[in-house]
Amino acid sequence: MPGLIVPQMANGSRYDALMSDPENLLRLRRKHGEGRPLDVDADDGARLVRAQSLRNAFVASLIVFVVFCIAWAALTSATGRVFPWLTVVLGWLTGVAVRRTGRGVDWRFPLLAGIVTLLGCLGSNIVLAASTTAVEFGTGTLDILRAVTTMTWPVFFDEVWNIGDSFFAVFSAGLAAVLAPRKLTRGQYYALRLWYRQSDGHD
């Protein structure tokens, strides 16, 4: 009765090892090995923490807000239409700007991006309303903004700001918060964990 035929291997020792352990004859080669250990330590995590800049992230988010207000007002003036969903673009731009300039790895950067986006959505709608009003009265946007009083805000929230604006503002803030943190590699994430454990005294 024919048995299992194992081809003769050039390396005799390897052949002997296989024959000494019959289970190895039918064992498949592993597709993935154990993986190389990560050559990182807590100092690498400390460098990631030192690379953060909350100030740069804040300045970049303000620049995004100003540019967005100008662009949105110009688009509305050119088309004669208001696109409230464009505040989602503000959230995306703010999140990306905070991530690239702040290089943040802690909770402050998503929080900053979310708050700035919320205020930016409100502020950009105010600027847009002022720009539209300025065109109707034949004056400048800054003149309208300087003329704002405490009596203006109830009118703004009754006639301009609506539930759709609130939805897009909250969604944009969440999007900005998700995009704000620095994207870490596996090694960087592990180094950051080591630094946190060391700084907390758990090492």
Q: From CA 49, how far away is CA 193, in angstroms rounded? A: 11
- Tokens (6 digits) for 59: 């300045």
The pLDDT tens digits for 104-153 are 999 999 999 999 999 999 999 988 888 888 888 888 888 888 888 888 88
pLDDT classification of 33: cutoffs 50, 70, 90: very low
Q: Give the whole-angstrom CA distance, residue 203 versus residue 195.
A: 9
Mean local confidence (pLDDT), 28-43? 61
CA distances from 179 to 96, 100, 104, 175 (A): 6, 10, 11, 6
Token digits of residue 186: 């596996």
Q: How many CB atoms lie within 10 A of CB 130?
A: 23
pTM above 0.75, yes or no: no
Report the mean per-residue pLDDT for the chain: 82
pLDDT: is 20 or 151 the higher one? 151
Q: Residue 111: which residues within 8 A CB-CB, separation 6 or more? A: 177
| Cα–Cα distance measured from residue 196 to residue 191, given in angstroms and rounded to the nearest whole number | 9
Confidence of residue 95 (pLDDT cuts 50, 70, 90): very high
59 or 70: whose pLDDT is higher? 59
DSSP state of 85: G
Identify whether the C-beta of residue 74 lies closer than 8 Å to the C-beta of residue 128: no
Percent of the chain clearing pLDDT 70 (strictly above): 80
